[in-house]
């Protein structure tokens, strides 16, 4: 049961007034469609990797029989392309609907879309042609085709323009609403793009000054440690870039989908602010095993990683309290009765609720990874993909599906093809990813490496891994079923569903009156970001650079 008011009128896209206009739906829709194409292609490759790694199967991956090509496609399409396109599209939608105005510049938005799409085609070609078997982390001195790097650059720069457009829209709104706090969803979106534009400066430098010139043959040598440092300047905020839209859905849309208010709007703002400030100066927790980073930096980044866990703890309370209100409103009794009273039969809510549950596991395992010395037992074992498939593959992906199942009908102007299939998709995904994540994590504790073609002939296999790798393949199979259900619903909604959608977008157009304005002191926060990162990353970068000898490593083509 949907708690939102059924809308009246014929064309029931009851956007808060303004425009249910076609160009806007196209602009957002293109991003969502490209994102879904990426995740379907990239996602389908996932289960076949689990089949390949399972000792009882060791099946070759169809079409992309070279394991590391399949893995590169899987990582880039899911982690970089699906996410970036989905987030940009969703952020446009949130900004326009929530502020009730058009983007500052529609032409700029289309230029950004064009750049991102061309970039996707370039990187996609390199990957499909086997010219970029470098995985999504593309560590130097491995080199891919120049078009791979150029493509990724275009996707990132396109997303910068999207962020700029959103900032400008916000500034215009702010001029007309002096003394008013911006709605929480837009606040989160702005935090996300401030963080994203800041952190991708690292990977931009890495690509433009290191990898691309090496790939083009303009320089002969590079520095692997420095490029790793630059990559992980971006690499951790990247996961928060994925996460903030999911949090936006939980904080700003889920209450509306339940007919209640968020328990604490201001602490929600605090959570987003803290994520923006602290998600970048912690990236060395990906470099705990690196030989070119000092132990001191590792301790410091570990400490700040624990600080960035605080907003997630805040989120748990805030969301649980909100859901409790929703359950009580529906007549729950007892202390935990509200849990049973959630909308478990509504795919939009089921996706978010299961997403939260699986994300809890992802958060806890994340704290373990970030634990300085505990990391010795975990780094680059299959524990790591076990962990991030419960965050990106679990909490984030499920929540995005929760968004998709109301957003796509609105954009397309047709009802969701099948609510039942959507529900089945959500629950199979939840079970599949939980089994997969748990098995991979367990195999990792037994010493199974990640990113390794364990099905190849003559490969080392410890008997202790077999059970868990096989269980991961069962998880993979369930995920494959879930993906097929998703494809059926996507195709069905786009072309075979007839009736018009009858549910409005769950978007607030104003902040509560007690929302604090201090959270929007952007100048102050920008200074804080600069100071934090200069202090936390400056010494790491300087120590990584070899000032006396320069660059030593020659590039290696990975075909």
Partner 1 sequence: MAQQPQPKLEIDKYERTYLILAVAMVGIFFAAILAGAFAFNVRPPDAAEFVNPLTLGQTEFTQLGLFDRGNNNYDLYSIAQMWQFNLGPGVPVEAGHQVLDIPLNARVTFHVASRDVNHGLFVQYHNINLQLVPGHVARQSVIFDRPGTFWVVCHEYCGRGHHNMGFMIRVGNA
Q: Could you say which of 241, 247, 388, 551 is catalytic? A: 388
CB 368 within 8 Å of CB 378: yes
241 catalytically annotated? no
Beta bridge pairs of residue 381: 449
| Stretch 200-259 residues interacting with partner 1 (CB under 8 A) | 223-225, 228
| Stretch 341-360 residues interacting with partner 1 (CB under 8 A) | none
286 catalytically annotated? no
Question: Considering the rule CB under 8 A, would residue 172 count as an interface residue with partner 1?
Answer: no
Q: Which two tokens stand for residue 316?
A: 């748990």
Q: What are the backbone angles phi and psi of residue 508, rounded to the nearest 5°?
A: -80, 140
Q: Of 1-9, 56-64, 97-105, 289-297, which segment contacts partner 1 by CB under 8 A?
A: 289-297
175 catalytically annotated? no
Q: Of 26-34, 119-127, 294-302, 329-337, which segment contacts partner 1 by CB under 8 A?
A: 294-302
Question: Considering the rule CB under 8 A, would residue 558 count as an interface residue with partner 1?
Answer: yes
Q: Could you say which of 90, 148, 149, 240 is catalytic? A: 240
Q: Of 151-159, 245-253, 292-300, 487-495, which segment contacts partner 1 by CB under 8 A?
A: 292-300
Tokens 């700040």 — which residue?
304
Q: Of 23-31, 108-116, 239-247, 441-449, which segment contacts partner 1 by CB under 8 A?
A: 441-449
CB 123 within 8 Å of CB 76: yes
Q: Which two tokens stand for residue 470?
A: 């096989």
CB-wise, 379 or 442, nearer to partner 1?
A: 379
Half-sphere exposure in the Cβ direction for 212 (13 Å, CA): 16
> Least distance in Å: CB of 417 to partner 1?
39
Question: Does an H or E element contain 539, and which?
Answer: helix 522-544
Question: Considering the rule CB under 8 A, would residue 333 count as an interface residue with partner 1?
Answer: no
Q: How long a stretch of residues is the chain?
A: 559
d(CA 118, CA 112): 10
379 catalytically annotated? no
Size of the site for partner 1 (CB under 8 A): 76
Beta bridge pairs of residue 221: 554
> Least distance in Å: CB of 488 to partner 1?
34
| Stretch 128-147 residues interacting with partner 1 (CB under 8 A) | 135, 139, 141-142
| Stretch 380-399 residues interacting with partner 1 (CB under 8 A) | 380-381
Question: Does an H or E element contain 557, and which?
Answer: strand 556-557
3-class secondary structure per residue, 48-88: HHHHHHCCCCCCCCCCCCCHHHHHHHHHHHHHHHHHHHHHH
> Least distance in Å: CB of 289 to partner 1?
4
CB-wise, 402 or 544, nearer to partner 1?
A: 544
d(CA 386, CA 142): 25
Question: Considering the rule CB under 8 A, would residue 174 count as an interface residue with partner 1?
Answer: no
| Stretch 397-436 residues interacting with partner 1 (CB under 8 A) | none
CB 67 within 8 Å of CB 453: yes
31 catalytically annotated? no
Positions annotated as catalytic residues are 236, 240, 387-389, 450-451
């Amino acid at each position: 049961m949907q708690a939102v008011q059924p809308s009246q009128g014929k064309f029931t896209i009851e956007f808060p007034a303004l425009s249910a206009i076609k160009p806007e739906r196209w602009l957002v829709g293109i991003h969502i469609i490209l994102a879904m194409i990426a995740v379907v292609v990239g996602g389908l490759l996932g289960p076949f990797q689990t089949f390949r790694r399972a000792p009882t199967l060791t099946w070759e991956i169809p079409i992309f029989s070279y394991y590391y090509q399949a893995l590169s496609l899987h990582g880039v399409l899911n982690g970089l392309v699906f996410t970036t396109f989905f987030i940009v599209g969703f952020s446009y939608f949130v900004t326009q609907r929530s502020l009730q105005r058009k983007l500052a510049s529609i032409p700029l938005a289309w230029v950004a879309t064009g750049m991102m799409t061309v970039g996707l085609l370039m990187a996609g070609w390199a990957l499909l042609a086997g010219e970029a078997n470098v995985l999504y982390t593309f560590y130097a001195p491995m080199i891919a085709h120049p078009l791979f790097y150029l493509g990724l650059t275009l996707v990132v720069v396109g997303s910068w323009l999207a962020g700029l457009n959103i900032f400008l829209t916000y500034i215009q709104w702010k001029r007309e609403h002096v003394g008013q706090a911006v709605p929480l969803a837009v606040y989160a979106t702005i935090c996300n793009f401030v963080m994203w534009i800041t952190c991708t400066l690292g990977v931009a430098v890495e690509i433009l000054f290191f990898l691309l010139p090496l790939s083009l043959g303009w320089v002969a040598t590079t520095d692997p440690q420095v490029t790793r440092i630059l990559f992980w300047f971006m690499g951790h905020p990247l996961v928060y870039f994925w996460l903030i839209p999911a949090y936006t859905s939980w904080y700003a849309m889920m209450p509306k989908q339940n007919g209640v208010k968020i328990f604490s709007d201001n602490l929600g703002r605090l959570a987003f602010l803290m994520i923006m400030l602290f998600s970048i100066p912690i990236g060395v927790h990906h470099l705990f095993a690196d030989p070119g980073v000092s132990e001191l930096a590792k301790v410091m980044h570990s400490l700040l990683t624990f600080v960035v866990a605080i907003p997630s703890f805040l989120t748990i309370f805030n969301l649980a309290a909100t859901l409790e209100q929703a359950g009580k409103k529906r007549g729950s009794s007892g202390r935990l009765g509200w849990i049973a009273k959630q909308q478990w039969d509504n795919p939009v809510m089921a996706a978010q609720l299961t997403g939260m549950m699986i994300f809890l596991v992802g958060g806890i395992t994340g704290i373990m990874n970030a634990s300085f010395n505990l990391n010795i037992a975990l780094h680059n074992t299959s524990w790591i993909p076990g962990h991030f498939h419960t965050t990106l593959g679990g909490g984030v992906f499920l929540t995005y599906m929760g968004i998709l199942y109301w957003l796509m009908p609105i954009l397309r102007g047709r009802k969701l093809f099948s609510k039942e299939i959507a529900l089945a998709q959500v629950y199979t995904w939840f079970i599949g990813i939980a089994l997969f994540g748990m098995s991979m994590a367990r195999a990792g504790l037994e010493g199974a490496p990640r990113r390794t073609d364990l099905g190849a002939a003559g490969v080392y296999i410890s008997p202790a891994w077999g059970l868990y790798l096989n269980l991961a393949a069962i998880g993979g199979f369930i995920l494959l079923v879930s993906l097929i259900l998703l494809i059926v619903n996507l195709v069905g909604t786009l072309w075979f569903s007839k009736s018009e959608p009858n549910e409005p977008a769950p978007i607030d157009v104003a902040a509560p009156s007690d929302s604090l304005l201090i959270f929007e002191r952007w100048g102050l926060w920008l200074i804080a970001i600069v100071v934090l990162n200069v202090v936390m990353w400056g010494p790491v970068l300087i120590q990584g650079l070899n000032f006396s000898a320069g660059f030593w490593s020659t590039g290696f083509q990975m075909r």
